[in-house]
Amino acid sequence: MKNVLAAIALLTIAGFTTHAQAQRQFIEASYTVDSIGSTTAVAGFALDGPPPVLYVDLAAALPELSYLESRWYANTEGRPRFTTFAGQVPTEPDKYWFQVPFQEWQDWKYAGPWRVDTTLYSIELILIYGVGVGSLASYDLGSTGFDVVQSVQVPEPSTWAMLGLGLLGVAGAARVRRS
């Protein structure tokens, strides 16, 4: 019995070391981009624009029986407004793009700071004396921040030209009236 407990303790300690090493080496980059397929970082998005996209570049493909999850927080809220999972968008084996569905973004968007937390979940099989035991491991891959701003409507040049012509017309009519 002592040998079994010692083996379990040794595997648990080894498992924690493996988890810590994997957490440091598993992710290469994580940031927001403007569209699925893009790898150009963007830190600000317009409130009336399309939903932001989270890009996650892993050091290697996901192991079998694992998945990525992203939780989207507005400002400093304690509960995420959205949760998305890898596999919603077909991508390369080590590159993932997470996007909130458009209608959900329209219903719950918020102007201000946002944070996205990403977690890797993996089911690992541990063999102890020929018996397999499943273990769910989670690796916090970090947070990514971005801002959503209220966009300002700027008139087109033709609108400015019509406004100028209208003001000149009013000034000309006032001048003719005075003389």
Return the CATH number at 47.
2.60.40.10
Q: What is the pLDDT of residue 100?
A: 85
Question: What average pLDDT does the structure give for the chain?
Answer: 77
Q: What is the pLDDT of residue 22?
A: 44
d(CA 19, CA 135): 12
Residue 58 falls inside a structural domain: yes
d(CA 172, CA 179): 11
How many Å from the N-terminal Cα to the C-terminal Cα in the chain? Answer: 113
Residue 171 falls inside a structural domain: no
With pLDDT > 90 as the criterion, what percentage of the chain qualifies?
7
Higher pLDDT, 8 or 84: 84
Q: Looking at the predicted structure, is the pLDDT value of residue 42 above 80?
A: yes
Residue 90 banded pLDDT, cuts 50, 70, 90 = very low
Residue 177 falls inside a structural domain: no
Residue 131 falls inside a structural domain: yes
Higher pLDDT, 4 or 32: 32
Q: What is the pLDDT of residue 60?
A: 74
Residue 159 falls inside a structural domain: no
Range(s) of the domain holding residue 94: 2-153
Residue 161 falls inside a structural domain: no
Higher pLDDT, 24 or 123: 123
CB-count burial class (<10 Å; 0-12, 13-18, 19+) for 97: buried
151-163: average pLDDT = 81
Q: What is the pLDDT of residue 41?
A: 92
- Cβ-proximal residues to 11 (8 Å cutoff; 6+ apart), any chain: 126, 128
Residue 37 falls inside a structural domain: yes
Q: Residue 80: what are its φ and ψ, rounded to 5°? A: -70, 145
Per the structure, how many domains does the chain have? 1
d(CA 121, CA 19): 11
Residue 168 falls inside a structural domain: no
Q: Looking at the predicted structure, is the pLDDT value of residue 130 above 80?
A: no
Higher pLDDT, 164 or 179: 164
Higher pLDDT, 66 or 174: 174
